Amino acid sequence: MSDGEPTEPPIGDESADPDEGSGTDAPEPEPAAGPMFSPYGIASAVLGLLSVAAVVLGAVIWSAHRDDAGDRTYLSHVMETAAVWTNVLINMNSGNIDASLQRLHDGTVGELNADFDAAVQPYRQVVQKLQSQSTGRIEAVAIETVHHDLDGQPGATRPPRDVVNTKVPPFATRTDSVLLVATSVSENAGGKPTTVRWNLRLDVSDVDGKLMVSGLSSIK
């Protein structure tokens, strides 16, 4: 071999590792573990809980408002029933006494209905004594007491009642006491007008969805 020819590396020489120092076999570092919940995730969860609570609270308020509105509407009907019944009573006179008493009787229930003649006898006597035309006017109407679900369950204690001269029918689901103040002006022939004042307490009972007068008494 001449000195000018290049020499080739010996075949099979494995003394040198081509991958040595390249670092390809070195283990890669594991990424650092971050927090399980980010601040945004916590804030979203809190907002979600607040939204659910707001919905529940709104439903409760709406339900209570609906119940209150329904009760006010019912009590308005109770006062209207008492006022209509009383209007017949205070406008009763010698000319319409029989028809008026029949209308009053038809609007009653319970022992007041059964003992109607005895209950209205004092008012009948006033009309018969005046023997005149009278005009009545209701001055004020107000709810006195509210009794719900009378005898709704076997063995349940009925709330105390203010009216003791009559009893609420056992099949009434609800009874409310109404106070009424009214006046009647009677015009006697040849005499000056006579004013009669009425201070009444009426019990109005809900019987199968129909409002009926179940109690009557005078307030002194």
Segments forming the whole domain that contains residue 195: 47-218
In a domain, 22, yes or no: no
CATH code for the domain of 143: 3.10.450
SS3 28: coil
62 occurs within a structural domain: yes
CA distance 143 to 83: 12
pLDDT for res 146: 60
For the chain, the distance separating the N- and C-terminal CA atoms, rounded to the nearest angstrom, is 150
25: in domain = no
In a domain, 30, yes or no: no
Whether 15 is in a domain gets the answer no
Q: What is the pLDDT of residue 77?
A: 93
Position 62 scores a pLDDT of 59
- Name residues whose C-beta falls within 8 Å of residue 139's C-beta, 6 or more positions apart in sequence: 181, 182, 183
Residue 21 domain-assigned (yes or no): no
pLDDT of residue 163: 36
Task: Tell me the residue type at 6.
Answer: P
Residue 130's alpha-carbon distances to 114, 192, 194, 195, 199, in angstroms, are 27, 12, 9, 11, 19
Neighbours of 112 (CB within 10 A): 28
pLDDT tens, per residue, the chain with 220 residues: 555 555 555 555 554 454 554 555 555 555 555 555 566 667 677 677 767 777 776 666 756 556 567 788 999 999 999 999 999 999 888 788 889 999 999 999 988 999 999 988 888 887 777 666 778 899 999 998 665 554 444 344 444 433 333 455 667 889 999 999 999 887 766 677 888 889 999 999 999 889 999 999 988 7
Nearest C-alpha neighbor of 77 from the set 170, 215, 208, 204: 204
Residue 182 lies in a domain: yes
**Could you please report the per-residue DSSP string of 61-129?**
HHHHHHHHHHHHHHHHHHHHHHHHHHHHHHT--TTTHHHHHHHHHHTB-THHHHTHHHHHHHHHHHHHH
Interhelix angle 97-106/116-130, nearest 10 degrees: 150
- Indicate yes or no: pTM above 0.75: no
Predicted pLDDT at 199: 93
Answer yes or no: is 71 within a domain.
yes
Q: How many domains does the chain have?
A: 1
What confidence score (pLDDT) does residue 25 get? 55
